[in-house]
Structure 1
């Protein structure tokens, strides 16, 4: 971090007039409307402007050549419609979807520039992604060059270059996005802060915190970092288990005058080795007048529950509700898990029931943890079976977790001597394609032995041995 130079001024993209001078023309890139049929273009534009009903598309199609129109003619028509960007977009999509024009990059970028100049970012970004998909073998440098050479002619907006980077990122193509960034920076065109943050986030997710830091060091002179920038880096450190390096990021925040927010503190608290340190950060946040958000509450609740202080977690939960913050499924799952680990399955059940009343569905792992505790407390026969039946009817339960839930309930029923019910549940389990493992066999064997049915227990023991031999292939 020491290598970061102290450049803090806000840098903007260069004005539009300088863009065309930064790129050289290529014979492979056609002009926007160089070979257009002027009569055809003017007639098409007249129809599009004058006909205000659906029939204009049929009328327009009737006057077009049977071979359709060229990309240059399409671009010329689009330029005449640039003050009506939505109509321009409809014409482009109509000509593409009806195979009336084999659009090239120039015609794609013409409509993209028209959308950008009207600040229709989402539509422009969507078409940029489509242009990239339709030209998979075109290198990023060529796409950028075409975008730049059509820029001025269409009177576009500078953020269109950031959209090209975003289009690559949306397609999970980090290297092309970085290539475009380098090309733009070599021509003095700086990324927007939002684009720089997206690049940092993608780099952190795909390549880790070290790569994200290297990119930050490279970019820091080219954009003005904001709290989201540093939160991205802090989160990357946390995910990589490098929370001890948080101080460097916080020093950078201070140097750029970026005040930490609730999420900044949440990330730091999540990386604390003990709940005492997390509480210190919580109090520091309060001293600075920063109101904790749901993520901050969840982080501290998790810390208390993992430290065996579930009562403190419950206090925070009540405080959270009093503050008017919406609780999430995660909040309640943390409390359920905390109560289970503390051996208080009755309290866990109360939270579980509250969770279902609020419309949240617990993760299957949480249900398993509750069932295990119920089994140990002898509660699986009624309460546990009820929870199991309710959750097994819910969609989206992972198959592997369903197996675990079945096993827990079957073992609990066998332990309680309810062999008939356990057998029915095992048949249901098999009907779902889930074969019993050694633990289920052992539960049935122990259950039958307790009930004095030694013959059945012996048969199952032999079957288990045969099953294990079969799995080993011997």
Structure 2
């Protein structure tokens, strides 16, 4: 066997290793691991044929300990692609029962070689290791082996981002604190990801506390007040940091805090981008502060920040909300002239705006234009249009709009849409058609409400069919009683 291996090998293998396999005496135990490591490194480094892995398997059929694997990997650390292939080979052939130490070695080497996606894949496996608190254990090992592996600083950023994927925001905060205690900082993108996930999982106030801590803002205040604070590496928040905070405060309905973050961003000399302006614009429009919204619009123009479709939609929607449909149309025309493509939201704002001021004809024209562009309308928008047509006693036109929406776009009508159609048909004495719509409504899982019962009762009374009207009244009272019991 030894002769065959030596004959085909293209590199020099220490004879003592192979002689020991057939000798009654073996070298001291402390020497043998060294021979295995050096031999494997030599094989992987110099044997460039595809058969290197076959030779490796024949050479070490019983595999490696995690410590041996780490030593081999460290000797190959300047060739991270080879380390990755070696790591994958040991996993595929079950040649090593990897522990967090060997995982850490691979993570460091892949990180220093800028193979970040592969490093993250290894981290994802390691943080699910079957032992208590594997995340913190892996972090401690990464810290201890950092210099030995000549790693890259962002290895800790990769760890935190992977931990955020599995919703371990609080553990990440603990890691950040330990890094900060050692004078180490993180990339701003990692801090932003931590703020975002922390806000999502624990609430925006928790996210804001993270923001204050990771960017050491309280330390800066202490320094300004003349207090002695340990000097550490600092990273500055960027526009994406403030955008994340503004969005998180907005989602929790804390609109005043959105403006506070905006002023904080300005105070730090951070230039807002289109997204920043868009978030603040939403707040101003929701609070119907359209004068301020227009000033913000002009500020964007003065600073050379382009208006995108989101900002156009926001200000158009703001003017539609307060019934200033003329101003909304002006911004819509400007939008088209600027070459900014309108979206489904643009047309929905205009439909709602025209219906709000009672101009149903214009609302129908906008809706038809929207359908021609193959924008799928929301059920709530169709509901507003159907109500507008119902108010104008144009129920059959409303019926047609609903049918086209269902057939062309798979629209899911709202209960109120059905209610307006039924009321309109009953008022037109089209009770058979109203019953068909009511049957369709029930088929969609909507129970008849008092308004629908009353519409049918009034319709049958109008026809002089008192018997059916009384029967419906009785059914209505029984249905109301059942609902109260529930």
TM class by smaller structure: 0.7 to 0.9
Q: Which residue of 2 aligns with 1:50?
A: 49
Q: Does the CA-based 8 Å contact 1:36-1:72 persist in structure 2?
A: no
Q: RMSD between aligned alpha carbons? A: 3.5
Q: Deviations over 1:45-78 (max 9, x none)?
A: 47995218xxx8888778774x765444554565
Which residue of 283, 286, 299 corresponds with 1:271? 283
How many angstroms apart in 2 are the aligned matches of 1:60 and 1:411?
82
Question: After superposition, what is the alpha-carbon deviation per residue over 1:179-207, rounded to whole angstroms, capped at 9, x for unaligned?
Answer: 11111111111011111222222333344
For 1:98 and 1:187, how far apart are their aligned partners in 2? 40
Worse-superposed segment, 260-269 or 154-163: 260-269
Distance 2:47 2:441 in 1: 64
Aligned partner of 1:261 among 257, 260, 273? 273
What is the CA-CA distance between 1:100 and the residue it aligns to?
Answer: 5.8
One of 392, 398, 403 as aligned partner of 1:377? 392
Instruction: Report how many residues are paired.
Output: 434
Distance 2:93 2:445 in 1: 48
Counterpart of 1:302 in structure 2 is 317
Counterparts of 1:3-402 in structure 2 under 5 Å? 38=37, 41=40, 45=44, 49-51=48-50, 65=61, 70-72=65-67, 74-75=69-70, 78-79=73-74, 82=77, 85=80, 88-89=83-84, 92=87, 96=91, 101-135=96-130, 137-138=132-133, 140-221=135-216, 222-244=234-256, 249-272=261-284, 273=287, 274-391=289-406, 394=409, 397=412, 402=414
Select the residue among 409, 417, 420 that pairs with 2:421. 409
1:330 Cα deviation from its structure 2 partner: 2.3
Mapped partners of 1:329, 1:465: distance in 2: 42
Over 3 Å counting, the alpha-carbon distance change for 1:238 and 1:468 in structure 2 is closer
Q: Deviations over 1:141-164 (max 9, x none)?
A: 322112223433443221110111
Question: C-alpha distance in 2, partners of 1:249/1:435?
Answer: 46
Q: CA deviation at 1:99?
A: 5.9
Distance in 1, Cα, partners of 2:303 & 2:45: 63
The match for 1:425 is 437
- Aligned CA distance change for structure 1 residues 107 and 255 (closer, same or farther; 3 Å): same
1:388-417 deviations in whole A, cap 9, x for unaligned? Answer: 4523774584xxx64444333333333332
Partner of 1:449: 461
Would the aligned equivalents of 1:415 and 1:447 in 2 still touch at CA under 8 Å? yes
Q: When the two structures are superposed, what TM-score results if normalisation uses the length of structure 2?
A: 0.76
Contact conserved, 1:41 with 1:73, CA < 8 A, in 2? no
Q: Is 2:405–2:411's contact at 8 Å kept on the other side of the alignment?
A: no
Structure 2: unaligned runs, 5 residues or longer = 1-32, 217-233
Structure 1 residue 175 displacement after superposition = 0.4
**C-alpha distance in 2 between matches for 1:435 and 1:100:** 64
Cα gap change, 1:376 to 1:140, in 2 (>3 Å): same
CA 1:432–1:249: 2 relative to 1, 3 Å: closer
Check 1:40–1:385 CA distance in 2 against 1; reply closer, same or farther (3 A cut): farther
| Distance change >3 Å, CA 57–CA 403, structure 1 → 2 | farther
Worse-superposed segment, 165-174 or 91-100: 91-100
SS in 2 for 1:50: coil
Q: 1:100 to 1:430 in 2, by over 3 A?
A: farther
The answer to whether the 8 A contact 1:69-1:100 is kept is yes
1:145 and 1:111 map into 2 onto residues whose CA distance is 15
For each residue in 1:304-330, what CA deviation from the matched residue of structure 2 results, as whole angstroms up to 9, or x when unmatched? 111111221122122112212232322
Question: C-alpha separation between the residues in 2 aligned to 1:128 and 1:37?
Answer: 27
Cα distance between partner residues in 2 of 1:80 and 1:412:
82
Q: CA deviation at 1:94?
A: 6.2
Deviation, 1:96, is 4.4
Q: 1:283 to 1:455 in 2, by over 3 A?
A: same
| Kept in 1: contact 2:192–2:241 (CA 8 A) | yes
CA contact (8 A) 2:390 2:398 kept: no
TM-score (norm 1): 0.78
Q: 1:260 to 1:439 in 2, by over 3 A?
A: same
What runs of 5+ residues in structure 1 fail to find an aligned partner?
Answer: 1-33
Greater CA radius of gyration, 1 or 2? 2
1: CA distance between counterparts of 2:171 and 2:290? 43
Q: CA deviation at 1:218?
A: 2.3
Q: Within 1, Cα distance between the matches of 2:415 and 2:93?
A: 51
